[in-house]
Structure 1
Amino acid sequence: MKKVILVQRNDPGADHGANERKLAELKELARAAHYSVVGVLTQTRYPDRKYQVGRGKVDELAVFVEVSGADKVIFNHQLSTTQIYNISETCKCEVIDRFNLILEIFASRATTRRAKLQVELARLQYELPKARSIVSLLKKDERPGFMGLGGYEDSYEQDVKKRIVRIRNEIHSSCKSSESLRSFRHERGFSLVALAGYTNAGKSTLFQSLVKEGTEVEDMLFTTLSPTTRSLSINQRRVLLTDTVGFIEDLPHWMVDAFRSTLDEIFLADVILLVVDMSDPVDVIRQKLVVSHDIFWKRIEGVEIVTVLNKVDMVDSDDLKRKVDAISYLAPHPVLISASSGDGFEALVDKIYENLPHWDRSRIALDMSEESLSMVSWLYDEGIVHSIDYGEQIVLDIEAREEVLQKVSKFNI
């Protein structure tokens, strides 16, 4: 396991609690990337143009690297190409920032063709503004291995832009396939429900409990990268439930956009379960809800969002009430649950059912024939048969999609 040192620069006057949370998240990200954190350096100051932190702190960092035998230094702030170059020259080891670390995690967990394309697209979009600086520094010291990018010519920036276009086109084609798949699933009588929310909110635990089968559930960021979908029945309605990649604090819009096709599993859903970790401080909960709604804004049309307040068993009743009241304007009708214990699941299932796409209910009479018996079998697959009476006629009380009822109405006597 590679050893890393984490570095965080805090703005003067910044909230201490927020700084602590950011550092804790960086540690979790490092753990998710399977690094061993051997040290942490922090400094309170405004950013330095050459090093992000002060020159004295970089010298201290270089000594720390040598003594600890660290393989890599990870900064919690986005670094410019020049800053990465200057720090790596002083510390004599690889230097990356938080966004490179996130890309590393996604790259290590991407298994499908589309997921791998998303990772490459995000990397290229991150790299594009730095392209000219990278080439300039490579030429300056003739270091073809700098940042692992190899030797480049002046055309590097144009090559990156062309590659971005090609990847976007390929992802766009796969998105069309997703739309077709959604239509196909609806035609087969399935409604689509997606779990969304921040990493470690408990989405995968909730997913496992609802579908009652084993899935990867770890106390680690980004355990879910490629969406996982399973079927279940809710009050006789067939539902496809999808566990999606978690949001993360301070994720730049270009990264959200790059992974848009992964998030399409959310945007294409009929119902979104927005899972919230109620053990977080109330200001963090509020911020995460605001960002989540911002991600959804203008990307979903008519999709019901059910806010699921998870881990309520980890909060005392008075504190829980205070938090629920504080976020009521962002989550007006939440469902309170504990994904680990199952508390609140009955109310959650009822809420999901209440928000599924509307099905009409009708009384159908069919003549007694072989064709009608086949139709009855089909109706059991496509809808909910509340009652059926076999006599001179076959009389059904059925609930189903409008398209199903229209088709069967042709045989109604």
Structure 2
Amino acid sequence: MQDSPPAETDAQRATTSDDDADRTAIVVARDADEQPDTTEIERLARAAGYEVVDTLTQRREEGGQYNVGRGKAEELARRVVATDADAALFDLELTPGQYGSLTALLPDGTGVVDRHRLVLDIFETGAGDEAARLQVELARLRYELPKLRETEERTHMQRAAETGSRVVDTERRIRIVENKLDELTDRASERRAERREQGFDLVAIAGYTNAGKSTLLHRLADDLAVDEMAPDHADLDGVAAVEDRLFKTLDTTTRRATIGGRRVLLTDTVGLVDGIPHDLVASFSATLDAVADSDAALLVVDASDPLPTMREKLRVSLAELDDPRGELLVVLNKSDLVDDEALEERRNAVDSVAGDRTAEVLAVSALAGGGAENLRDAVAAALPSETAQFDLPNIGDTQSFLAWAHDHGRVTAEYDGDRVRVEFAGRPAVVDRARSRATAIREG
């Protein structure tokens, strides 16, 4: 029997309407220490296709039943009726109990969507390839499961027996998606191994969205250029466009680059986003594996962020990203937007947060090009390398060997009569293959 995905919750229906232009929402924000700023959640709402018709804020400690206080929750219910809003969007994470209480309090059919769910819906919109779609589905299912459990506990087992258990359906679907992702992950790992056999070094670009990862890819790749980027790109116009930051980079993008004479494959990985808990980030492991299995990784940090924000993003990035098999380089991007004193503060912050996890800290402006050559040199130095010298006869087989060597590493060849002295540098495994080929020529 074919398994089908579990039925949608009210929150899912509120964020998957066919007529996005007609969706309206009230934004709700609470903070214990200061008056909440709703700018970011309103941008998220627009990215998800909502028109924000009202905002509701509260400065207080978290309330157990509704997250906001009872009075504020009741005011929200009145405003939903007054504005005929389709959903209430919360700039915080709701517990399953709070979600259930709010759903019961608000008018029937009103979507209750917290920040995590909202970000996932934006991710879902931008998921292009199969791996991205499955990872988003897995994150969504894991997010919804506790709420479904809470709902079934409230309705008791009798109704579950009559209608079927959505918890069981969801758990079954999670296992199916996990198995599919495992297969895709295995295939991706095999492709990385094949690319290494072909002589490529693998460099992953990681970091928060809007840190400039895509711009850096354009700066380093052989077939891309920064001046060819779309004019409305967030890095180019200085506007923090949520659409660019959240889902333009969900699918990984890989391009060829020549760095220090080495053939490199640069992979721009999924961007980290504020407000996603660790267990949901874990759902994107198939993408983040590109970082763990890289020969070198570039962790891009927005140097123009306020220092406390930069420190926190760096801390979260290091917690979520597995150590690469190679060196980890921290790239302080947009360094041209801060003065020397601020830049030095950010270098010190990286040292204190990252410790010995990072091999080097480099200040770069991916947009303007400043520091790009230093970055290239640092990447070249970080890549695994070995050198071998060969003295070969100047024959056809040697010329074929040289053609192969140029495709798989760095080559210097000196001709002396009927002899060719070759110096070859590349990945250790590739150098071993070069030695075998050279031996075959000498013994042939």
Work out the CA distance in 2 between the residues paired with 1:129 and 1:285.
32
Cα drift, residue 234 of structure 1: 0.9
Secondary structure of residue in 1 paired with 2:144: helix
For residue 124 of structure 1, what is the amino acid of its counterpart? L
Work out the CA distance in 1 between the residues paired with 2:69 and 2:433.
68
For residue 260 of structure 2, what is the amino acid of its counterpart? N
Q: Which runs of 5+ in 1 are unaligned?
A: 145-150
| Equivalent residue for 1:122, pick from 129, 139, 147 | 139
RMSD: 2.6
Secondary structure of residue in 1 paired with 2:351: coil
Cα drift, residue 42 of structure 1: 1.4
Secondary structure of residue in 2 paired with 1:410: helix
Q: 1:315 to 1:301 in 2, by over 3 A?
A: closer
User: Quick check: 1:49–1:83 contact (8 Å CA) kept in 2?
Assistant: yes
User: Quick check: 2:390–2:421 contact (8 Å CA) kept in 1?
Assistant: yes
Work out the CA distance in 2 between the residues paired with 1:209 and 1:70.
44
Work out the CA distance in 2 between the residues paired with 1:152 and 1:73.
31
Say whether 1:292 aligns with 2:339.
no
For residue 379 of structure 2, what is the amino acid of its counterpart? I
Work out the CA distance in 2 between the residues paired with 1:89 and 1:387.
77
Work out the CA distance in 1 between the residues paired with 2:105 and 2:414.
80
Say whether 1:409 aligns with 2:438.
yes
Match in the other structure for 1:226:
251
Work out the CA distance in 2 between the residues paired with 1:32 and 1:228.
22
User: Quick check: 2:292–2:323 contact (8 Å CA) kept in 1?
Assistant: yes
Work out the CA distance in 2 between the residues paired with 1:246 and 1:278.
16
Match in the other structure for 1:272:
297
Match in the other structure for 1:304:
327
User: Quick check: 1:307–1:331 contact (8 Å CA) kept in 2?
Assistant: no
Equivalent positions of 1:11-410 (< 5 A) are 11=32, 14=33, 16=34, 20=37, 23-92=38-107, 93-135=110-152, 153-211=163-221, 212-213=224-225, 214=228, 217-218=233-234, 219-220=241-242, 221-222=245-246, 223-296=248-321, 299-300=322-323, 302-330=325-353, 333-358=360-385, 360-389=386-415, 391-401=417-427, 402-410=431-439
Cα drift, residue 321 of structure 1: 2.5
Work out the CA distance in 2 between the residues paired with 1:325 and 1:400.
34
For residue 369 of structure 1, what is the amino acid of its counterpart? I
For residue 210 of structure 2, what is the amino acid of its counterpart? N
For residue 45 of structure 2, what is the amino acid of its counterpart? A
User: Quick check: 2:206–2:271 contact (8 Å CA) kept in 1?
Assistant: yes
Work out the CA distance in 2 between the residues paired with 1:152 and 1:368.
82
Work out the CA distance in 2 between the residues paired with 1:273 and 1:27.
31
Secondary structure of residue in 1 paired with 2:92: coil
Secondary structure of residue in 1 paired with 2:217: helix
User: Quick check: 1:366–1:411 contact (8 Å CA) kept in 2?
Assistant: no
Secondary structure of residue in 1 paired with 2:403: helix
Work out the CA distance in 2 between the residues paired with 1:352 and 1:25.
35
Q: Mean alpha-carbon deviation: is it higher for 127-136 or for 84-93?
A: 84-93
Q: 1:215 to 1:128 in 2, by over 3 A?
A: farther
- Summarize deviations over 1:34-63 as a string: whole Å, max 9, x none: 333333221122333332212221232234
For residue 273 of structure 1, what is the amino acid of its counterpart? L
Match in the other structure for 1:3:
24
- Summarize deviations over 1:281-325 as a string: whole Å, max 9, x none: 2111111111211123xx335321100001122223333333333
> How many percent of aligned residue pairs carry the same amino acid?
36
Q: Mean alpha-carbon deviation: is it higher for 93-102 or for 206-215?
A: 206-215
- Summarize deviations over 1:342-388 as a string: whole Å, max 9, x none: 11111111111111112x22221222322222112111111211233
User: Quick check: 1:244–1:265 contact (8 Å CA) kept in 2?
Assistant: yes
For residue 38 of structure 1, what is the amino acid of its counterpart? V
Cα drift, residue 31 of structure 1: 3.4
Cα drift, residue 137 of structure 1: 5.5
Work out the CA distance in 1 between the residues paired with 2:229 and 2:268.
10
For residue 6 of structure 1, what is the amino acid of its counterpart? V
Work out the CA distance in 2 between the residues paired with 1:381 and 1:193.
18
Q: Mean alpha-carbon deviation: is it higher for 92-101 or for 214-223?
A: 214-223
Q: 1:73 to 1:227 in 2, by over 3 A?
A: same
Work out the CA distance in 1 between the residues paired with 2:49 and 2:376.
36
For residue 280 of structure 1, what is the amino acid of its counterpart? D
Secondary structure of residue in 1 paired with 2:214: helix
Q: 1:187 to 1:166 in 2, by over 3 A?
A: same
Q: TM-score, normalised by structure 1?
A: 0.87
Q: Mean alpha-carbon deviation: is it higher for 368-377 or for 286-295?
A: 368-377
For residue 89 of structure 2, what is the amino acid of its counterpart? I
Q: 1:123 to 1:307 in 2, by over 3 A?
A: same
Q: 1:208 to 1:83 in 2, by over 3 A?
A: same
Figure out how many residues of one structure are paired with residues of the other and give that number. Answer: 396
User: Quick check: 2:270–2:288 contact (8 Å CA) kept in 1?
Assistant: yes
Q: TM-score, normalised by structure 2?
A: 0.82
